[in-house]
Amino acid sequence: MAEPFTRAAIYLRISMDREMDGLAIDRQRADCLTIAETRGWAVVREYVDQSRSATDKTKRRPGYDDLVSGFEAGEFDAIICWDLDRLTRQPRQLEDWIDAAEARGLRLVTANGEADLTTDGGRLFARVKAAVARSEVERKTARQSAAQAQRAAQGRAPKGMRPVGYSVAGEIIEHEAEAVHAVFTAFNGGSSLRAIAAALSGETGERIPARVPALPRHTRTVTFERNSRRDEENKTLPPEKQRKLRPVPDEAPWPPSTVLGMLRNPRYAGYSTYTRKDGQLDGGKRRARRASILQGETGEPVRGQWKPIVDEGVWSSVQERLDSSERVTNRVGTDRRHLGSGLYRCGVCEQRVRGHTSRYRCAGHITRSREQIDAYVTAAIRARLACPDLADLLPNRNEPRLHEIKAEVGAHRAKIARAQRDYDAEVIEGRDLKRVRDHEEAAIKVLEAERLRLAANATAGAVLGAQDPVAAFDATDLGAQRAVIESLCQVRLHGHPRGVKAFNPDTVAIDWNK
Ligand SMILES: [Zn+2]
């Protein structure tokens, strides 16, 4: 139906972002004009940005800025853009437009038909879309910083606090390395984190794994070392330039969480790591992330230049045991009546929320309406499942194949070892050794890339691997839906002002797993 007095602005943007090319301004304009024509809107102005990214807050987009001031000056009542990615990929800006749509009656439609901010459904879609877009950007940033870390890591151990077992320069510290090795062996043999921590702390007793030696607490050791380095430096400096020594933490038992950190550290298996910096999606809050394995161009793990302390096979089976025990003990638990109970976390204390009839609760922190949150999370999951790169995230634990890969990697390593022996025995030349090694290592890289892809959650695999993951998600049972959510993201609930009825998606933080 025609809406005769609507004045519309058209916003057009082309970007050099690779995923956005191929949609020239003329095509966008034609589609937008069709919308205006169909709705009977008068186009009063066109705003254009060329080659500007919508994701980077620091990059200026003059066309967009003019659009904002044009709206504030009341020059139009509707905006037409080709898709929401053209307009903005920043949830904050999108929220401003949604507010404008709600409060001032702005009409915002996209030519590709995906969002119409004049409807509830359109607004929900727009929010989910912006959240997903934002997370795509974060993933890209993570990949880029991974590339930088990779360059930096070549030949060098990562900076920062040294892990137990390695010096700052990445050399093995023998007695610590033995302890690390024993920790992995004990855990793989069924010891608990608590028992291992007790053994490291020098306790003795029945359940204490015997081969784990006592060690001073690592933070204490490291502080001593740092202080003595500083002390040496200070001797060469004038008094005003000398740096203060840090207080040494008291001797205390090892906490199980430190043992967990050791078991999770990929460096012990010789993998290079990086720690992702947080993006802005969850309101700038930072949270600890464990180091991830740095991956090369083809997804193969990047090797550090240091000597591994534990075998890769041991390391990955420890990860599998940790993953499954985390799932059993603190996650899903006994409370599985609702989509998010025991699964979503409290944004205040990080505990898993409990589900009640119509609410999710963390006592003393938050009480939220279940329906709104489940609708939002479900919409986000469905949008994620519809992403074309979903295959890259596929969890698909294929145990027999994992064993095959392990055996194949072993065979390739044996060939390298044999060539090395032949070289040492002067049977072959150095260039032959290099040729064999390059060849075998290339094959190992491919296998390891495959193993990384395979190592993931099995329950979710059925949905994620389906022909149509969105339909499979819709059709499956609650337990499998929960597994899908768990394998794709972490959901944190924040407080919501009392008495405010409108759902604010900023209060539900979805962090997509890498
Ligand atoms: Zn809480």
For residue 262, give every residue at least 6 positions away whose Cβ sits within 8 Å of its Cβ, in sequence order, or none.
163, 164, 180, 183, 268
Give the mean model confidence (pLDDT) for residues 14-38.
71
Q: Do β-strands 354-355 and 359-362 pair in parallel, antiparallel, or remain unpaired? A: antiparallel
Q: How far is the CA of 102 from the centre of ligand 1 (A)?
A: 32
Which tokens in the block code for residue 297? 């161009």
User: Does pLDDT of 360 surpass 50?
Assistant: yes
pLDDT band for position 441 (50/70/90)? confident
pLDDT average, residue stretch 125-131: 69
Both tokens assigned to 316: 């990955």
The top-scoring range by mean pLDDT among 222-226, 397-401, 450-454, 464-468 is: 222-226
**pLDDT tens track for 147-157:** 555 544 554 56
In this predicted model, what pLDDT tens digit does every residue of 240-284 receive, in sequence order?
A: 888 888 888 888 899 888 898 899 898 899 887 766 543 333 333
Q: Which residues, by Cβ under 5 Å, contact ligand 1, an ion?
A: 346, 348-349, 351, 362, 365
Is residue 9 very low, low, confident or very high in pLDDT (cuts 50, 70, 90)?
very high
Confidence of residue 175 (pLDDT cuts 50, 70, 90): very high
Query: From ligand 1's centre to the CA of 346, what distance in Å?
Result: 5
pLDDT at 374: 93
Give SS3 for 185.
Answer: helix
Q: How far is the CA of 513 from the centre of ligand 1 (A)?
A: 22
pTM of the model: 0.40
Asked if residues 43 and 77 have their Cβ atoms less than 8 Å apart, the reply is: no
Pairing of strands 273-274, 292-293: antiparallel
Q: At residue 452, does pLDDT exceed 70?
A: no
Per-residue pLDDT tens digits for 179-232: 999 999 888 777 778 889 999 999 877 667 768 999 999 989 999 998 998 888
Question: Which of 203, 228, 212, 215 has the alpha carbon at shortest distance from 164?
Answer: 215
Centre of ligand 1 from the C-alpha of residue 362, in Å: 5
Per-residue pLDDT, 286 = 35
Residues 40-92: pLDDT tens digits? 889 999 998 876 565 655 667 888 999 999 998 889 989 998 877 778 877 77
pLDDT value at residue 380: 92
Q: 54 and 83 in contact (C-beta within 8 Å)? A: no
Nearest alpha carbon to residue 381 among 300, 296, 476: 476
Angle at 144 between CA 138 and CA 146, to 5 degrees: 105
DSSP string computed for 7-57: EEEEEEEE---GGGTT--HHHHHHHHHHHHHHHTPEEEEEEEEES--SS-T
| Cα–Cα dist 148/145, whole Å | 5
Could you count the other beta carbons within 10 Å of the beta carbon of residue 80? 28
DSSP per-residue codes, 242-310? PPPPPPPPPP-PPPHHHHHHHHH-GGGGTB-EE-PPP-STTTT-------EE-B-TTSPBPBPSS--SS
Q: Which residue has the higher pLDDT, 353 or 149?
A: 353
CA of 254 to the centre of ligand 1 (A): 26
- Pick 207 or 39 by higher pLDDT: 39
Q: How confident is the model at residue 309 (pLDDT cuts 50, 70, 90)?
A: very high
Q: How far is CA 50 from CA 8, 35, 133, in A?
A: 21, 22, 20
